[in-house]
Amino acid sequence: MADILLSVDVRERTGTGGARQTRREGMIPGILYGGKLGNVAISLKENEVRKALNSGDFIAQTVTIEHKGEKQLVLTRDVQYHPVTDAPMHVDLYRVDADQMIEVEVAVRFINEEESPGLKRGGVLNVVRHELALLCPAGNIPDAIEIDLTGYEIGDSAHISSVSLPEGVTSAITDRDFTIVTVVGSRAAISEAEEEAEAEAAAEALAEAAEGEEGEAGEGGEE
C-alpha cells in the first residue's frame, strides 16, 4: 500500500456556490466525517488527489491528511466524478484511529494458476467474488487477499474458511462459508472428458463381451 499524504484546508464557504469556487481555485471540495470534532468542509489539492487515485491505493483505503502541521489518519469513503470528463469533483473522508476496526472491501488475487491441473486441462476460473468484505484494523488494511490455486482440479472450490487472512483480519460475513472461486470445465474440457468416459465404457463393454464369448466356448466343450 502506498503512503499517501494529502494537504487539506478548511473551507469557509459551503454548499454548491462554495464547491464551485473551490474548483475554480484548482482545488477539490470534500467533507471530513467522524470522530468527536464533527463534520468539517475541506478542500484538497487537485494534483495530489489525482496522484492518489492513480496509485490505486486511495479508494476504501486509509490515507493521511495534514492541516497546519497536524496529521490525521482517514479512510476514503467516496469520490464523486464529473459525468463527462471523469475528473474528481468531491471527496468524502472519514476519521479513524490506526487500531480501529473497520469494514472494507479488499480485492482477491489468484496466484499459481499454472500449478492447477484443472486449469491445465482446459478448465476455467469461475470467480464468484472479486472482493471480500473484511474487518481490519484501520492501520493495517491488506492490499489484496491471495488464493493459491496449486493443485486445484476441475470442480474444486475456495471458500472463505479455506483462505488464510492476515493476523487481526476477519470476514465481515460470518453466517455462511461462502464460495469465492471454482474451477469449472470449459466446453472443450467437458467434451474431452465425455469422450474419454465413452471410450472407457466402450472398452469395458468389449472386454465383457470377450469374457462372455470365452465362457460360452468353455461350457460348450464340457458338454
Q: What does the alpha-carbon distance between residue 67 and residue 10 come to, in Å, rounded to a whole number?
A: 8
Q: pLDDT of 4-13, one tens digit each?
A: 899 999 988 7
Backbone φ and ψ of 66, nearest 5° = -130, 130
Residue with cell 463381451: 209
- Domain 5-95 part of CATH 1.10.10.10: no
SS (H, E, C) the chain: CCCCEEEEEECCCCHHHHHHHHHHCCEEEEEEECCCCCCEEEEEEHHHHHHHHHHCCCCCCEEEEEECCEEEEEEEEEEEECCCCCCEEEEEEEECCCCCEEEEEEEEEEECHHHCHHHHCCCEEEECCCEEEEEEECCCCCCEEEEECCCCCCCCEEEHHHCCCCCCCEECCCCCCCEEEEEECCHHHHHHHHHHHHHHHHHHHHHHHHHHHHHHHHHHHHC
Please give the grid coordinates belonging to residue 22: 473551490
Is pLDDT at 88 greater than 70 in this prediction?
yes
CATH topology of domain 101-184: RNA Polymerase Alpha Subunit; Chain A, domain 2 (2.170.120)
Q: pLDDT of 39-60, one tens digit each?
A: 899 999 999 999 999 988 888 7
Instruction: Tell me the CA distances in angstroms from 98 to 63, 64, 95, 140, 222, one per residue in order.
Output: 11, 11, 10, 8, 91
pTM over 0.75, yes/no: no
Predicted confidence at residue 131, as pLDDT, reads 94
Residue with cell 468542509: 41
Q: pLDDT of 27-36, one tens digit each?
A: 999 999 987 7
Please give the grid coordinates belonging to residue 129: 467474488
Q: pLDDT of 175-212, one tens digit each?
A: 999 999 999 987 655 555 566 667 777 777 777 677 66
Domains of the chain, by residue range, sit at: 5-95, 101-184
- Cβ-contact 102, 135 below 8 angstroms: yes
Mean pLDDT of 95-124: 91
Number of Cβ within 10 Å of residue 64's Cβ equals: 12
